[in-house]
Amino acid sequence: MKIPSENTFVVRLKTAFRQLDERQREAMPARLERVTEEHTCEYCGETFTGRYCPQCSTDCQRSRLTFRNAVLNVLDVWGLGNRPMFGTIKELFWRPGYMMRDYLRGRQQAYFPPVKMLFLLSMFLLLEANLLGVQLSSKESYVNITEGPEEQVSEKVVEAGNTINAIANSVIEWVFTHPAQMTIIQCLIIIFIIARIFRNSPAMGNITRTEAFFTQIYVECQSFVILILCMPLYVLAHSGQDIQLQAFTNAVVPLNILMYVVDFKQLFQFSFKQTIWKIIKLYLVLFVVILAVVFLGGIVIGYVLMSAAGVV
Protein backbone atom coordinates (compact mmCIF):
# COMPACT_ATOMS: atom_id res chain seq x y z
CA MET A 1 0.00 0.00 0.00
CA LYS A 2 1.41 3.36 -1.02
CA ILE A 3 1.83 5.84 1.81
CA PRO A 4 0.76 9.33 0.73
CA SER A 5 3.62 11.81 0.81
CA GLU A 6 3.39 14.98 2.84
CA ASN A 7 1.96 17.97 1.05
CA THR A 8 4.67 19.93 -0.80
CA PHE A 9 3.37 23.24 0.54
CA VAL A 10 3.56 21.97 4.12
CA VAL A 11 7.14 20.79 3.58
CA ARG A 12 8.14 24.17 2.14
CA LEU A 13 6.44 25.96 5.02
CA LYS A 14 8.26 23.84 7.61
CA THR A 15 11.55 24.45 5.81
CA ALA A 16 10.93 28.20 5.74
CA PHE A 17 10.14 28.27 9.47
CA ARG A 18 13.25 26.20 10.20
CA GLN A 19 15.45 28.60 8.22
CA LEU A 20 13.83 31.58 9.93
CA ASP A 21 14.48 30.04 13.34
CA GLU A 22 18.14 29.45 12.45
CA ARG A 23 18.52 33.09 11.44
CA GLN A 24 16.84 34.28 14.64
CA ARG A 25 19.26 32.24 16.74
CA GLU A 26 22.19 34.30 15.44
CA ALA A 27 23.18 36.79 18.14
CA MET A 28 23.98 40.44 17.51
CA PRO A 29 27.67 40.61 16.50
CA ALA A 30 30.01 42.43 18.85
CA ARG A 31 31.30 45.73 17.48
CA LEU A 32 34.79 45.90 18.98
CA GLU A 33 38.09 47.41 17.91
CA ARG A 34 40.91 44.90 18.39
CA VAL A 35 43.87 46.39 20.25
CA THR A 36 47.02 44.23 20.45
CA GLU A 37 49.50 46.74 21.94
CA GLU A 38 50.71 46.44 25.51
CA HIS A 39 49.74 49.27 27.88
CA THR A 40 50.27 50.36 31.46
CA CYS A 41 47.11 51.54 33.16
CA GLU A 42 47.30 55.19 34.21
CA TYR A 43 44.95 54.55 37.13
CA CYS A 44 46.13 51.34 38.83
CA GLY A 45 49.49 50.67 37.11
CA GLU A 46 48.49 47.25 35.72
CA THR A 47 50.33 46.14 32.56
CA PHE A 48 48.00 44.54 30.01
CA THR A 49 47.35 43.85 26.34
CA GLY A 50 44.15 45.19 24.80
CA ARG A 51 42.06 48.30 25.20
CA TYR A 52 40.62 47.99 28.73
CA CYS A 53 42.48 47.34 31.97
CA PRO A 54 41.45 43.94 33.41
CA GLN A 55 41.72 45.28 36.98
CA CYS A 56 39.84 48.61 36.88
CA SER A 57 38.33 48.71 33.33
CA THR A 58 40.08 51.97 32.42
CA ASP A 59 40.11 52.68 28.67
CA CYS A 60 43.71 52.92 27.42
CA GLN A 61 42.60 54.98 24.42
CA ARG A 62 40.87 57.67 26.45
CA SER A 63 42.02 61.24 25.93
CA ARG A 64 40.81 64.69 26.91
CA LEU A 65 37.05 65.11 26.94
CA THR A 66 35.69 66.46 23.67
CA PHE A 67 32.34 67.69 22.37
CA ARG A 68 31.72 64.15 21.05
CA ASN A 69 31.96 62.80 24.62
CA ALA A 70 29.39 65.36 25.77
CA VAL A 71 27.01 64.44 22.93
CA LEU A 72 27.38 60.70 23.61
CA ASN A 73 26.69 61.22 27.32
CA VAL A 74 23.50 63.16 26.55
CA LEU A 75 22.39 60.60 23.96
CA ASP A 76 23.08 57.76 26.37
CA VAL A 77 20.50 59.18 28.79
CA TRP A 78 17.88 58.87 26.02
CA GLY A 79 18.98 55.44 24.87
CA LEU A 80 20.96 56.60 21.83
CA GLY A 81 24.54 56.25 23.05
CA ASN A 82 27.03 53.38 22.71
CA ARG A 83 24.30 50.76 23.25
CA PRO A 84 21.38 52.13 21.22
CA MET A 85 17.97 51.36 22.65
CA PHE A 86 16.46 51.06 19.18
CA GLY A 87 18.85 48.26 18.28
CA THR A 88 17.73 46.33 21.34
CA ILE A 89 14.06 47.01 20.49
CA LYS A 90 14.67 45.60 17.01
CA GLU A 91 16.13 42.46 18.57
CA LEU A 92 13.15 42.28 20.97
CA PHE A 93 10.78 41.89 18.03
CA TRP A 94 13.02 39.95 15.64
CA ARG A 95 14.40 37.31 18.04
CA PRO A 96 12.96 38.16 21.48
CA GLY A 97 13.39 34.88 23.33
CA TYR A 98 16.86 34.23 21.91
CA MET A 99 17.91 37.80 22.75
CA MET A 100 16.71 37.39 26.35
CA ARG A 101 18.63 34.12 26.64
CA ASP A 102 21.77 35.83 25.30
CA TYR A 103 21.35 38.55 27.92
CA LEU A 104 20.90 36.04 30.74
CA ARG A 105 23.96 34.06 29.59
CA GLY A 106 26.31 37.03 29.90
CA ARG A 107 25.96 39.19 26.76
CA GLN A 108 24.67 42.19 28.74
CA GLN A 109 27.06 44.62 27.02
CA ALA A 110 25.42 43.97 23.66
CA TYR A 111 21.97 45.17 24.74
CA PHE A 112 20.41 48.20 26.34
CA PRO A 113 19.79 47.76 30.10
CA PRO A 114 16.20 46.49 30.57
CA VAL A 115 15.20 48.55 33.63
CA LYS A 116 16.55 51.75 32.11
CA MET A 117 14.70 50.96 28.88
CA LEU A 118 11.48 50.39 30.85
CA PHE A 119 11.64 53.86 32.43
CA LEU A 120 12.46 55.56 29.12
CA LEU A 121 9.62 53.80 27.31
CA SER A 122 7.16 54.63 30.10
CA MET A 123 8.16 58.28 29.82
CA PHE A 124 7.61 58.20 26.04
CA LEU A 125 4.23 56.53 26.59
CA LEU A 126 3.04 59.18 29.06
CA LEU A 127 4.29 61.97 26.80
CA GLU A 128 2.47 60.47 23.81
CA ALA A 129 -0.72 60.02 25.84
CA ASN A 130 -0.66 63.68 26.87
CA LEU A 131 -0.02 64.86 23.31
CA LEU A 132 -2.87 62.73 21.92
CA GLY A 133 -5.30 63.67 24.69
CA VAL A 134 -5.60 60.19 26.21
CA GLN A 135 -6.90 60.37 29.78
CA LEU A 136 -4.62 58.57 32.21
CA SER A 137 -7.32 57.98 34.83
CA SER A 138 -10.83 59.04 35.80
CA LYS A 139 -12.53 59.70 39.10
CA GLU A 140 -14.90 56.88 39.97
CA SER A 141 -17.17 56.11 42.91
CA TYR A 142 -16.05 52.67 44.08
CA VAL A 143 -18.15 52.68 47.27
CA ASN A 144 -21.71 54.03 46.92
CA ILE A 145 -23.25 54.43 50.35
CA THR A 146 -25.47 57.49 49.85
CA GLU A 147 -28.44 55.70 48.30
CA GLY A 148 -31.58 55.28 50.39
CA PRO A 149 -33.23 57.44 53.07
CA GLU A 150 -30.81 59.95 54.54
CA GLU A 151 -31.72 59.02 58.12
CA GLN A 152 -30.38 55.50 57.51
CA VAL A 153 -26.95 56.78 56.52
CA SER A 154 -24.86 58.30 59.27
CA GLU A 155 -22.33 61.03 58.63
CA LYS A 156 -19.50 58.72 59.74
CA VAL A 157 -20.49 56.12 57.13
CA VAL A 158 -20.64 58.78 54.39
CA GLU A 159 -17.28 60.14 55.48
CA ALA A 160 -15.77 56.64 55.50
CA GLY A 161 -17.14 55.95 52.01
CA ASN A 162 -15.75 59.23 50.67
CA THR A 163 -12.36 58.43 52.21
CA ILE A 164 -12.32 55.01 50.58
CA ASN A 165 -13.24 56.53 47.19
CA ALA A 166 -10.51 59.15 47.55
CA ILE A 167 -7.88 56.52 48.42
CA ALA A 168 -8.98 54.23 45.56
CA ASN A 169 -8.86 57.08 43.03
CA SER A 170 -5.43 58.13 44.28
CA VAL A 171 -4.12 54.58 43.91
CA ILE A 172 -5.57 54.22 40.39
CA GLU A 173 -4.14 57.59 39.37
CA TRP A 174 -0.71 56.61 40.72
CA VAL A 175 -0.81 53.31 38.82
CA PHE A 176 -1.45 55.00 35.46
CA THR A 177 0.90 57.93 36.01
CA HIS A 178 3.79 55.70 37.16
CA PRO A 179 3.71 52.77 34.71
CA ALA A 180 7.38 51.86 35.14
CA GLN A 181 7.17 51.59 38.92
CA MET A 182 3.92 49.66 38.72
CA THR A 183 5.43 47.31 36.14
CA ILE A 184 8.36 46.55 38.44
CA ILE A 185 5.93 45.73 41.27
CA GLN A 186 4.02 43.40 38.92
CA CYS A 187 7.28 41.75 37.86
CA LEU A 188 8.25 41.12 41.48
CA ILE A 189 5.00 39.17 41.85
CA ILE A 190 4.97 37.32 38.54
CA ILE A 191 8.58 36.09 38.69
CA PHE A 192 7.63 33.51 41.34
CA ILE A 193 4.96 32.11 39.01
CA ILE A 194 7.26 32.07 35.96
CA ALA A 195 10.08 30.35 37.87
CA ARG A 196 7.63 27.67 39.00
CA ILE A 197 5.67 27.05 35.78
CA PHE A 198 8.64 27.17 33.38
CA ARG A 199 11.03 25.04 35.45
CA ASN A 200 13.02 22.18 33.85
CA SER A 201 12.95 23.83 30.42
CA PRO A 202 15.06 22.34 27.60
CA ALA A 203 17.04 25.57 27.04
CA MET A 204 17.21 27.26 30.46
CA GLY A 205 16.82 24.41 32.95
CA ASN A 206 15.48 25.90 36.18
CA ILE A 207 15.30 29.65 35.65
CA THR A 208 16.06 31.68 38.78
CA ARG A 209 13.78 34.41 40.07
CA THR A 210 16.40 37.04 39.22
CA GLU A 211 16.60 35.77 35.64
CA ALA A 212 12.80 35.70 35.48
CA PHE A 213 12.76 39.34 36.66
CA PHE A 214 14.99 40.60 33.84
CA THR A 215 13.11 38.44 31.35
CA GLN A 216 9.78 39.88 32.45
CA ILE A 217 11.14 43.43 32.31
CA TYR A 218 12.09 42.89 28.66
CA VAL A 219 8.62 41.42 27.99
CA GLU A 220 7.04 44.52 29.55
CA CYS A 221 9.29 46.71 27.37
CA GLN A 222 7.76 44.91 24.38
CA SER A 223 4.29 45.76 25.69
CA PHE A 224 5.24 49.42 26.07
CA VAL A 225 6.56 49.56 22.50
CA ILE A 226 3.31 48.02 21.24
CA LEU A 227 1.31 50.60 23.21
CA ILE A 228 3.42 53.47 21.83
CA LEU A 229 3.03 52.27 18.23
CA CYS A 230 -0.69 51.45 18.46
CA MET A 231 -1.88 54.50 20.40
CA PRO A 232 -2.08 56.89 17.39
CA LEU A 233 -4.08 54.28 15.44
CA TYR A 234 -6.44 53.73 18.38
CA VAL A 235 -6.97 57.48 18.84
CA LEU A 236 -7.61 57.89 15.11
CA ALA A 237 -10.16 55.06 15.13
CA HIS A 238 -11.97 56.60 18.13
CA SER A 239 -11.72 60.25 17.14
CA GLY A 240 -14.19 62.50 18.91
CA GLN A 241 -14.47 60.17 21.90
CA ASP A 242 -12.98 60.37 25.39
CA ILE A 243 -10.26 57.73 25.48
CA GLN A 244 -9.10 56.16 28.72
CA LEU A 245 -5.62 54.66 28.91
CA GLN A 246 -7.07 51.60 30.64
CA ALA A 247 -9.47 50.92 27.74
CA PHE A 248 -6.65 51.31 25.22
CA THR A 249 -4.40 48.98 27.24
CA ASN A 250 -7.13 46.33 27.31
CA ALA A 251 -7.55 46.60 23.53
CA VAL A 252 -3.95 45.52 22.83
CA VAL A 253 -3.90 42.61 25.31
CA PRO A 254 -4.24 40.00 22.48
CA LEU A 255 -1.03 41.34 20.89
CA ASN A 256 0.76 41.08 24.23
CA ILE A 257 -0.38 37.48 24.70
CA LEU A 258 0.86 36.62 21.20
CA MET A 259 4.26 38.10 22.03
CA TYR A 260 4.26 36.09 25.28
CA VAL A 261 3.97 32.89 23.25
CA VAL A 262 6.80 33.85 20.89
CA ASP A 263 9.06 35.09 23.72
CA PHE A 264 8.73 32.05 25.95
CA LYS A 265 8.81 29.56 23.06
CA GLN A 266 12.20 30.89 21.96
CA LEU A 267 13.53 31.42 25.48
CA PHE A 268 12.63 28.07 27.07
CA GLN A 269 12.37 25.91 23.90
CA PHE A 270 9.22 24.09 24.94
CA SER A 271 6.93 23.05 22.10
CA PHE A 272 4.24 25.50 20.99
CA LYS A 273 1.54 23.41 22.68
CA GLN A 274 3.49 23.25 25.94
CA THR A 275 4.26 26.97 25.81
CA ILE A 276 0.63 27.92 25.21
CA TRP A 277 -0.56 25.64 28.01
CA LYS A 278 2.01 27.06 30.44
CA ILE A 279 0.99 30.62 29.56
CA ILE A 280 -2.66 29.69 30.17
CA LYS A 281 -1.65 28.36 33.59
CA LEU A 282 0.29 31.58 34.19
CA TYR A 283 -2.80 33.72 33.51
CA LEU A 284 -5.01 31.42 35.59
CA VAL A 285 -2.71 31.79 38.59
CA LEU A 286 -2.60 35.56 38.09
CA PHE A 287 -6.42 35.61 37.92
CA VAL A 288 -6.63 33.74 41.23
CA VAL A 289 -4.15 36.16 42.82
CA ILE A 290 -6.18 39.16 41.59
CA LEU A 291 -9.40 37.60 42.92
CA ALA A 292 -7.75 37.06 46.29
CA VAL A 293 -6.58 40.68 46.42
CA VAL A 294 -10.07 41.95 45.46
CA PHE A 295 -11.67 39.67 48.05
CA LEU A 296 -9.34 40.86 50.81
CA GLY A 297 -9.91 44.47 49.72
CA GLY A 298 -13.67 43.94 49.96
CA ILE A 299 -13.29 42.57 53.48
CA VAL A 300 -11.22 45.59 54.52
CA ILE A 301 -13.72 48.05 53.00
CA GLY A 302 -16.65 46.25 54.64
CA TYR A 303 -14.93 46.30 58.00
CA VAL A 304 -14.20 50.05 57.69
CA LEU A 305 -17.83 50.85 56.81
CA MET A 306 -19.23 48.62 59.55
CA SER A 307 -16.88 50.21 62.09
CA ALA A 308 -18.04 53.65 60.98
CA ALA A 309 -21.68 52.56 61.40
CA GLY A 310 -20.95 51.22 64.86
CA VAL A 311 -21.81 47.62 63.95
CA VAL A 312 -18.40 46.28 64.99
Distance CA 247, CA 244 (A): 5
DSSP helix, strand, coil percent of the chain (3-state; round to 5): 65, 5, 30
The tens digit of pLDDT for each residue in 256-272 reads 889 999 999 999 999 99
Distance CA 219, CA 256 (A): 9
Coil, helix or strand for 174? helix
pLDDT at position 29, please?
66
Cβ-contact 137, 289 below 8 angstroms: no
Q: Comparing 130 with 179, which gets the higher pLDDT?
A: 130
pLDDT at position 42, please?
76
Distance CA 44, CA 175 (A): 47
Q: Which among 29-43, 107-121, 148-162 has the top mean pLDDT? A: 107-121
pLDDT at 181 over 60: yes
Q: What is the DSSP letter of 29?
A: P
Q: What is the DSSP letter of 205?
A: B
Q: What is the 3-state secondary structure (H, E, C) of 13-26?
A: HHHHHHHHHHHHCC
Distance of CA 219 to the CA centre of its chain: 4
Q: Please report, to the nearest 10 degrees, the dihedral formed by the alpha carbons of residues 89, 93, 97, 98 taken in order.
A: -80
Instruction: State the DSSP H helix or E strand holding residue 83, giving kind and residue range, or none if neither.
Output: none
The tens digit of pLDDT for each residue in 297-308 reads 777 766 666 666
pLDDT grade for 130, boundaries at 50, 70 and 90: confident
Coil, helix or strand for 218? helix
- pTM score, whole prediction: 0.76
N-terminal to C-terminal alpha carbon distance within the chain? 82
Cβ-contact 271, 190 below 8 angstroms: no
CA dihedral (70, 51, 89, 12) positive or negative: positive
Alpha-carbon distances, residue 172 vs 45, 138, 211, 244, 274 (angstroms): 55, 8, 29, 12, 35
pLDDT at position 175, please?
72
Distance CA 148, CA 47 (A): 84
What is the DSSP track for 50-61?
Answer: SSB-TTT--BTT
pLDDT at position 148, please?
47
What is the DSSP track for 134-159?
Answer: -BS-----S-----S-GGGS-HHHHH
